[in-house]
Amino acid sequence: MSAAIHSFPQFNRRARPGEAPETRDFINRAEKAAKVAEQFAAAVDSESRFPQEAFDAIREQRLLGMLIPTELGGDGSRAADVADVCAILGASCSSTGMIFAMHQVKVACLIRHDRKNDWLRGFLADCARKQWLLASSTTEGNNGADIRNSEAAIRLHGPRVSLERDASCISYGAYADAIVTTARRADAAAASDQVLAVFRRADYTLEPTRTWDTLGMRGTCSVGYMLRGEGVADQVLTEPYERIHNQTMVPYAHLFWSATWQGIASGAFRRARAFVRQASRASGGRMPPGAPHLTRARVTLETLRGAIQSGLSTFERHAAEPGGLTSMNAQLALNFLKVEASELAVTTVMSAMRACGLAGYRNDNEYSMGRYLRDILSSPIMINNDRILANSEAAVLMSEPPIFVAL
């Protein structure tokens, strides 16, 4: 497994100067968890169940708190570190990689906003120490994927708050240790005047309202729930969600999701390569008819990885500046990364399936591409590419395209 994972270089390999190897060895830790994830990936898919064994291993490797600052008990990792882990996990089990990516997006939102909040700092310390898994609730009722508007409102009751929310989808909600959710600031607030709130498992109840019967990504268990939560006022972040959304939610989601899709595509390529090798050996060295498609898969996979590296470079250039990730160029680059990565990943997996021919099309052999293909087809519709492109039209008209290739 380890040798196979390293078929392609990851996004980030080196620890920063002065960092202890045992605290920065994310690649090795991720590979150990990925071995477990791969063993149960088929069962997670066929049974539409949460990848519990994989997350037991992830917790054992203490990867859930890798973004949390060291002073709060985490590893203080970079976005590139997390992207590496997303890719490694995604290559072994798509649902495991995507759940891990979604969790880290929520962690990023909490550590980058309202850091002076003592309740929140204590919560993050618990997340690192206890390896809590955070779920997200951003879609609601009839709004579908319009996550920039909320129907349900936070209600104040003296020093306490409450929320009742018809959440159309909470991925792995029944298995999370806490939920991070958007809501209207108050009953009288506009639907777009949103806040972000955190509820620990003891603070909320979930009443299932919708099932999860899908083509792929079955292990994310993205069931609909009526969410009812109560807590103290400090569990609601004071910074407007609009800023959190633009500065953290979207950039981190597009990076980590793209890395996960690159992992899925890498896993499909590895399986197709194994088929072509076996077929060539069986025919005395003659390449099978689908072999050219393996080369095409490699080309698009390398293009995909390059796009993510470019996205990480853009992210790192702007993330250190106050509001840097909200600049028009940064927003366009990271939005387009999501679109390009999802399309390239689908193309790569399709080429891998064609390289395997009938063996890839069948479900009853070791070279089946069914799970990879069904899972990767979710990528263009997770925040629909058409919605992203439509929302970018005005910015495209106003901005200058980049010219210098070395910058």
Q: Are 55 and 103 in contact (CB under 8 A)?
A: no
Residues 332, 252 share a domain: yes
Residues 199, 169 share a domain: yes
Neighbours of 100 (CB within 10 A): 30
d(CA 278, CA 276): 5
d(CA 352, CA 346): 10
For the domain that residue 26 is a member of, what is the CATH number? Answer: 1.10.540.10
Per-residue pLDDT, 404: 66
19-53 pLDDT, tens digit per residue, is 445 435 999 999 999 999 999 999 999 999 999 99
Residue 236 is given by DSSP the state B
Quick one: CA dihedral 382, 47, 37, 4, positive or negative?
negative
Per-residue pLDDT, 261: 98
User: Does residue 407 belong to any structural domain of this protein?
Assistant: no
Q: Are 269 and 369 in contact (CB under 8 A)?
A: no
User: Does residue 334 belong to any structural domain of this protein?
Assistant: yes
User: Does residue 376 belong to any structural domain of this protein?
Assistant: yes
pLDDT averaged over 10-residue windows placed end to end, the chain, 407 residues: 43 48 76 98 97 98 97 95 97 98 98 90 97 95 75 94 95 98 96 96 97 97 97 96 94 97 98 97 94 98 96 88 81 93 98 97 96 98 90 85 67
Residue 287 is given by DSSP the state P
Per-residue pLDDT, 405: 64
Domain end point (choices 200, 235, 270): 235
d(CA 345, CA 266): 9
pTM above 0.75, yes or no: yes
Domain end point (choices 106, 130, 154): 130
> How would you list the strands of the sheet with 223-232, edge to edge?
155-157, 160-170, 223-232, 204-210
For the domain that residue 393 is a member of, what is the CATH number? Answer: 1.20.140.10
Domain end point (choices 235, 255, 275): 235
Per-residue pLDDT, 393: 87
Q: How many domains does the chain have?
A: 3
117-156 pLDDT, tens digit per residue, is 999 999 999 999 999 999 999 988 765 567 889 999 999 9
Angle between helix axes 291-319 and 79-92 (nearest 10 degrees) is 150
Residues 145, 73 share a domain: no
Domain extent, residue 191, equals 134-235
* Contacts of 287 by beta carbon, 8 Å cutoff, 6+ apart: 276, 279, 280
Single out the residue of 215, 87, 197 nearest to residue 134, CA to CA. 197
**CA–CA distances in Å: residue 139 to residues 143, 154, 171, 223, 229:** 7, 16, 11, 11, 16
User: Does residue 126 belong to any structural domain of this protein?
Assistant: yes
d(CA 331, CA 328): 5
Residues 279, 377 share a domain: yes
Residues 226, 198 share a domain: yes
Residues 379, 249 share a domain: yes
What's CA 161's distance to the chain center, in Å?
29
274-294 pLDDT, tens digit per residue, is 999 999 999 999 999 999 999
